[in-house]
Amino acid sequence: MPVDLFGQALNGLAYGVLLFLLSVGLTLIFGMLDVVNLAHGSFYMLGAYAGLSLIASTGSFWLALVAAPLAVGLIGALIERSCLRPLYRRPPLDQVLLTFGFIYLFEDVVKWIWGGRIRSIPPPDLFSGSVSLWGAVIPSYRLFVIAFGLAMAALLFLLVERTRLGAIIRAGVFDAEMTGGLGINIHRVFTGVFAFGAALGGLSGVIAGPIQSAYPSMGVTILIPALIVVVVGGLGSLKGSLIGSLLIGQAETFGKAWMPEASMLIIYVVMAAIVLVRPQGLFGRPLK
Amino acid sequence: MTGLRLLASALVVVAVALFPLAAGNYPVKLLQEILIWGIFAMSLDLLMGYAGMVSFGHSAFFGIGGYVAALALARSPGLVSALLLPAVAAGLVALAIGFFSIRVSGVYFIMLTLAFSQMFHAYTFQVSWLGAEDGLVGIPRPAVPGVDLNSLRGFHGYLLVLVVLAALALWRIVSSPFGHVLRGIHENEARMIALGYAVDRYKLLAFVIAGVVAGVAGSLYTQFNGSITPDAFFWKTSGEALLMVIIGGTGTLGGAMLGAAAFILLQSLVSTYTERWMLILGATFILLVLFAPGGIVGALRGRIGLRA
C-alpha cells in the first residue's frame, strides 16, 4: 500500500503541475484583463495537436516543446488584438461569450485538420522508459513533467516577483487603469499577458500529450479543473495557482484511486466550500 | 403589452400551432426542439436579463427535471410524473443551490453555480443506477386522456400549450411589482437594500422560479427524446442557453425564444450542408458578440425604431 501511495502521489503531482501551467495563464488573464477566458482549454488542445504535428514532421519533441507554445501564443495575441480589445468597455459577459465561440471554432478546426479520433503522442526517447523508485515503477516521463513543471513555476515566480516586467504585470493585476495612467502602455501589456497565457496553455498541452494523448474534447474537459484551481487559489494570484493546482491534482488522483464513484465530485465540493467560506480564494485579495 | 405586440405574439402562436399541417416530420421536430430550448432560455433570461444574476449552472435544473421525469415516467406515465414532480424537484434543488450561491456575486456567482451543476454531471456520469454515461433510455411519454402524445401532432399541441403557459407566467412575473424589484436589484443593488428590500429573498425566489421553469424544460426534453444523458448537466448546456439569451437579446423573454430558434436553426441548417457546423456556429457567435451587442431584439429595435 505505501508503494502504491507513493506512486499515486507522484501521479497527482504530475497532474498538478500540468494544471498549474494551464491555470497560471488563466489567472493572470483574469487578474489583469478581467476576462474569464473559456477558450483557455482550447489553447491547451491546440498546443497538444501542434506538438503532435511538429513531432511527426521533425521527429524532435524538444523542438515541438518550444515551437508549439510560440504558435499558440501568436494565436492568442491575434485574438486579443482583433476580438477582445473592442469588448473591454462592454459588460464582462460579452467577453465570456466571445471566448465560448472560440471553443466551438477551435474544436472544429482541430477535427478538420487532425480528425476526430484519439491520437497518441510518443514521449521523447530520453524519457520513454520507466524507473523504479522505492519499489514503485514510475514512467520516467512523469518525473520529467514534474521537474519541468516545478522549474517553470520557479522561473515564473522570478519573472513576476523579481523583474521590471513582472512589476508591471503585478501593478496591472492590481489596478490596470492606474498602471496605464503612470505611463505604461497598458494595451501592449494586455496583449502580451494574453499571448503569454495562451502560450503557457499551449505548453501544458504539449507536455500533457504523451500522458493524456490528443483528442478534440480535451480542451473542454480540462477547462473546468483549471477554472476551479483559479478560484480555489484566488483570482490573479500566482502562488494560489500553484498551491491550488497541487491540491486539486492530489485530490483528483487519490479520489480516482480510492473512491471512483465520487472522485469527480470531490473537487467540486472543495471548490464550493472555499467559495462560500473564503470567496476570494486561498491567496486572493479580499473582495472590494 | 401594447396591442400591436399582443397581436404579433398571438399570430406567432397560431403559426406555430398550424405548422404541423403544412410541414413534414423533420421541420416539426425542429420546431419542437426550439420550443423546449426556448422555455429553458426564457427561464435563464429571468435570472440574467431581469435580476442580473448570470448563472453558469442553469443546466443543473434542466438536468434534474430531465432525470426526475425519466425516473417517474418509467414507473407511472402520467402528467404528475411529467410535469409536477420534475418542477418540484428542480425547485427544491434551486432552493438549495440558490441558498448558497446568492451570497456571492459576479464571477464568484458564475463559478459557484458552475461548480454545483458540475457536481450533478459528475455524479450522473459515474453512478450505474442512473445509467452512467449512457443515461436513461426508453422513457415513455405521459398518457393524457383525449390526446395521443406519441403522435407528432398530439405532442406538438401539448408542447405549445406548455410554452404559452410558461411564457405567460414569466411575462406576468417580470411585469409584476416583484419583477420591478428584480430590475431594481439589477440596476443598483445597494440602493434597493437601502430602500428596505430584503434583496436576498427576492434573488432566491427568482432563482427558484427560474429553476422550476428550467426543470419543466428538462422534463419536456426527456419526453421529446425518450431519453436523458449526463450531457444535460454538462456546463456546455448552460453555456448554450446563455448564448441563446445573448443572441436573442437579454431582458426581453421573447428574445430568449428567438435566440433558441436562431441557435437550433443555425445548428441544423449548417449541419445539413457541411460537416463543419461547429466552426460556422462558433464564428457566428463571435461575429454576433462583436457586431450585434443587443442581440436580435437589439438589432431589430435599432432597425425599425421599435422601443422597449
Q: Do A279 and B115 touch (CB under 8 A)?
A: no
Interface of A with B in 54-73 (CB under 8 A): none
Mean pLDDT of the residues in chain B = 89
* Domain contains B29: yes
Residue A129: predicted pLDDT: 81
Is residue B285 predicted with pLDDT exceeding 90? no
Residue B1: predicted pLDDT: 55
Give the chain B residue whose CA is nearest to the CA of A278.
Answer: B104
Q: Could you give the angle at the alpha carbon of B118 between the alpha carbons of B114 and B124, nearest 5°?
A: 155
- Closest in A102, A109, A263 to B286, CB measured: A102
Q: For residues A210 and A145, what is the distance between their CA atoms, to the nearest angstrom?
A: 10
Q: Do B119 and A93 touch (CB under 8 A)?
A: no
Is residue A31 predicted with pLDDT exceeding 90? no
Is residue B175 predicted with pLDDT exceeding 80? yes
Question: A101 contacts in B (CB within 8 Å)?
Answer: 282-286, 289
* Domain contains B205: yes
For B46-57, what is the mean pLDDT? 91
DSSP letter for each residue of A153-218: HHHHHHHHHHSHHHHHHHHHHH-HHHHHHTT--HHHHHHHHHHHHHHHHHHHHHHHHHHH-B-TTH
* Domain contains B124: yes
Q: Do A101 and B286 touch (CB under 8 A)?
A: yes
Q: How far is A75 from chain B (nearest CA, A)?
A: 15
Q: Does A222 touch chain B (CB under 8 A)?
A: no
Considering its fold, how many domains does chain A have in total? 1
Q: What is the pLDDT of residues A88-122, one digit of tens each?
A: 888 777 888 889 889 989 999 999 999 888 998 88
Q: What is the pLDDT of residues B66-101, one digit of tens each?
A: 999 999 999 988 888 889 999 999 999 999 999 988
Q: Does A106 touch chain B (CB under 8 A)?
A: yes
Question: A102 contacts in B (CB within 8 Å)?
Answer: 282, 286
Residue A134: predicted pLDDT: 77
Is residue B305 predicted with pLDDT exceeding 60? no
Q: Do A220 and B290 touch (CB under 8 A)?
A: no
Q: Do B118 and A224 touch (CB under 8 A)?
A: yes
Q: Does A130 touch chain B (CB under 8 A)?
A: no
Residue A273: predicted pLDDT: 83
For A198-225, what is the mean pLDDT? 91
* Domain contains B247: no
Is residue B44 predicted with pLDDT exceeding 50? yes
Residue B302: predicted pLDDT: 66
* Domain contains A230: no
Residue B197: predicted pLDDT: 92
* Domain contains B297: no
Task: Give the SS3 label for residue A237.
Answer: coil
Q: Do B289 and A86 touch (CB under 8 A)?
A: no
Considering its fold, how many domains does chain B have in total? 1
* Domain contains A227: no
Q: Do A105 and B114 touch (CB under 8 A)?
A: no
Report the 10 Å Cβ neighbour count for B293.
15
Q: Which of A129-138, A173-182, B78-87, B289-298 has the highest mean pLDDT?
A: B78-87
A20 confidence band (pLDDT: 50, 70, 90): very high
All 3 cell numbers of residue A103? 471553443
Residue B308: predicted pLDDT: 42
Q: Does A279 touch chain B (CB under 8 A)?
A: yes
Is residue A169 predicted with pLDDT exceeding 90? no
Q: Does A269 touch chain B (CB under 8 A)?
A: yes
Is residue B246 predicted with pLDDT exceeding 50? yes
The ipTM is 0.81
Question: A221 contacts in B (CB within 8 Å)?
Answer: none
A286 confidence band (pLDDT: 50, 70, 90): low
Question: A220 contacts in B (CB within 8 Å)?
Answer: 236
* Domain contains A224: no
Task: Identify which has the larger pLDDT, A169 or B203.
Answer: B203
Is residue B184 predicted with pLDDT exceeding 90? yes
Task: Give the residue among B198, B190, B187, B167 at the shortest CA–CA distance from B45.
Answer: B167
Give the chain B residue whose CA is nearest to the CA of A266.
Answer: B119
Is residue B60 predicted with pLDDT exceeding 80? yes
Q: Which domain holds residue A58?
A: 16-116+125-218
Residue A152: predicted pLDDT: 93
Q: What is the pLDDT of residues A34-68, one digit of tens each?
A: 888 889 999 999 999 999 999 999 989 999 999 99
User: What share of chain B has pLDDT > 70, as a percent?
Assistant: 97
Q: Which domain holds residue B61?
A: 22-233
User: What share of chain B has pLDDT > 90, as a percent?
Assistant: 50
* Domain contains B49: yes
Q: What is the pLDDT of residues B213-227, one digit of tens each?
A: 999 999 999 999 999
Q: Do B242 and A107 touch (CB under 8 A)?
A: no
Interface contacts A/B by beta carbons within 8 Å = 114
Residue B166: predicted pLDDT: 94
Q: Do A36 and B107 touch (CB under 8 A)?
A: yes
- Closest in A36, A105, A265 to B122, CB measured: A265
B303 confidence band (pLDDT: 50, 70, 90): low
B307 confidence band (pLDDT: 50, 70, 90): very low
Q: Do B126 and A109 touch (CB under 8 A)?
A: no
Question: B125 contacts in A (CB within 8 Å)?
Answer: 264
Mean pLDDT of the residues in chain A = 87
* Domain contains B96: yes
User: What share of chain A has pLDDT > 90, as a percent?
Assistant: 37
Q: Which residues of A77-86 are buried (b: 16+ CB within 10 A; e: fewer)?
A: bebbeebbee
